[in-house]
Structure 1
């Protein structure tokens, strides 16, 4: 059943053995536990794992490709995933957090006057001034660092890179955050410049490397997401990114709002259904012939197979479902659908665990340990 899910596909120059991708996820786990989690997901049959938030700078959050220890970690990770017959992609990431602005909230967090839920919107308020006041030379240098990081990522064993189109790329793209009056601000073409320069920096150094782009889409009426590209501006951004060297698009809702919007639970007022972000894929599909990967509450194999057959998406990315059951692909491909631990999108131990700084887990893990 669902043969289309288990068919190979050329995803932007990279040959995938099937259509299932593990979406980039901040797991928040100790390295050894993270390694075993990702190894299990690779062993479960998905075609590619995207490692989220790989810093493009030398001093970003998380392990650095530029340090001996950080590079060794990524090399070990890619080797372990490859040993399970799975490909691996590095999501190149540049934070748009204003570190100096963050420091003023530290006392409130330490004394618990500011909760982690309250901290997020406070930090988001600092993004606009940070992006708007950044010197153009610094913006250009950061964009250039995507190319340097991609070279190191390839050396560490990554098969593909994904440019994180939310975070700094998304904030430069967004008229909500970007009030610049220079070549990086104003018209959509200018707000796209930072992302385009980041992609070009990679393509110039690595002419043949597949480059995925996480295209974060901001929605209005009703309003969801603050960074990223508003739907009406997709006809500007998509061709510019393709011309710069992007070979595939990973399409999702823009961030910098509530995490329960970008990681929506089953009772979300707007994004409650299967494939809740696929309408953005439809819009991107109409603008490019490049492969498109969809994400958003995907867990039902029949539904996903129908979307691929209909041509809405080429691949399906999922995170919570593969955390709930890493063997989802293997069970689907072997006709053991009844054995799947189905994600119910409760967000209790996954998003809840991340927010509580306990790492991403699943309620099924808790049940198994009782």
Structure 2
């Protein structure tokens, strides 16, 4: 019944066993628990898991590709998911947070004068000055290191890489944050340069690797998202990224606004419907023949099958749904769709857990059988 969902796909050079991908998500879990969560999702039948926010520069607070311990952690993830025929993708990113500027808010947070809800917009206010003020030398150092990080990711067991089109790539792309007057600012072509150089650095070092690009789209009328690419700028950005070496696009809404916009609940005023971000896929579809992955409140097997079958998207990415029921793919593809625990998009324990620094969980929170 769900032949398209269950059909294999050449996703930019990498063969996926079906069309379901676990979308990149920062889960905030201890490392051992994270490995077990990824193993459970892989055992549930999805074709690929994208590990979110893998830093391209050395880091001290998160698993790092540049240390033996960090690479061993990523290898443990690969070893956990590969036995189930599940591929592993590293979402390479560089933060656009100004650490020095962040430090001035620490006393206020510790004293309770600044709440967690108030901190996010304060940090977002620092993105523009930080992006605009980076020296050209530093910018080129950062874009070049995407190639180094990609090499290390493959050595650590990842099957492909995704360039995070939000974070620093998205902030350089956005006229909201990017007020530079050099070759990285001004025109859409110049604002695309950071992302293009990052992709090109990977392609130079790894001529045959599959490179996914998380294409963050900024919407106006009404306004949602501050980083990323305006809808009317897509005809400029998409061909440039394809020429640089991108082999597939993961299309979603741009960030740096409210988290409840990019992770929308069912009662969201603009993005409450199933497949809420697929309208951006429709625009990208007109600009490229490369595979396109859609995302945004996807839970209903019938809806997902129809969108895949009619070519609106080539893959369906899910996060909350596969946290609510990791066995969604196996159940759907084995004629047990009626047994699926459907995500109700309440955001209580997933986004709520993230915001409370308690890790991403689900109100169902029970073991699912595969």
TM-score, length of structure 1 as denominator length: 0.98
More displaced 10-residue stretch of structure 1: 209-218 or 330-339: 330-339
* Other-structure match for 1:82: 82
* Other-structure match for 1:40: 40
| Runs of 4+ residues deviating >6 angstroms | none
Question: Does the CA contact (< 8 Å) of 2:213 and 2:246 recur in 1?
Answer: yes
**How many angstroms does 1:61 deviate by?**
5.0
Structure-to-structure mapping, 1:66-77, within 5 angstroms: 66-77=66-77
**Do residues 19 (structure 1) and 19 (structure 2) align?**
yes
Q: Distance in 1 between matches of 2:80 and 2:40?
A: 10
1:285-317, CA deviations, whole angstroms, 9 ceiling, x for partnerless residues?
A: 000000000000001010011111111100000
1:49-97, CA deviations, whole angstroms, 9 ceiling, x for partnerless residues?
A: 0000000001275211001111110111111111222100000010000
* Other-structure match for 1:118: 118
* Other-structure match for 1:315: 315
* Other-structure match for 2:361: 361
**Do residues 201 (structure 1) and 201 (structure 2) align?**
yes
Question: Does the CA contact (< 8 Å) of 2:91 and 2:163 recur in 1?
Answer: yes
Secondary structure of 1:217 counterpart: strand
Q: Structure 1: which 5+ residue stretches go unaligned?
A: none
Q: Distance in 2 between matches of 1:183 and 1:367?
A: 52
C-alpha RMSD over aligned residues: 1.1
Structure-to-structure mapping, 1:240-319, within 5 angstroms: 240-319=240-319
Q: Distance in 2 between matches of 1:116 and 1:140?
A: 33
Q: Distance in 1 between matches of 2:254 and 2:60?
A: 21
* Other-structure match for 1:227: 227
Q: Structure 2: which 5+ residue stretches go unaligned?
A: none
Question: Does the CA contact (< 8 Å) of 1:89 and 1:161 recur in 2?
Answer: yes
Residue correspondences, number: 368
Q: Distance in 1 between matches of 2:324 and 2:237?
A: 35
**How many angstroms does 1:367 deviate by?**
11
* Other-structure match for 1:324: 324
Q: Distance in 1 between matches of 2:34 and 2:115?
A: 26
Secondary structure of 1:4 counterpart: coil
TM-score, length of structure 2 as denominator length: 0.98
**How many angstroms does 1:366 deviate by?**
7.2
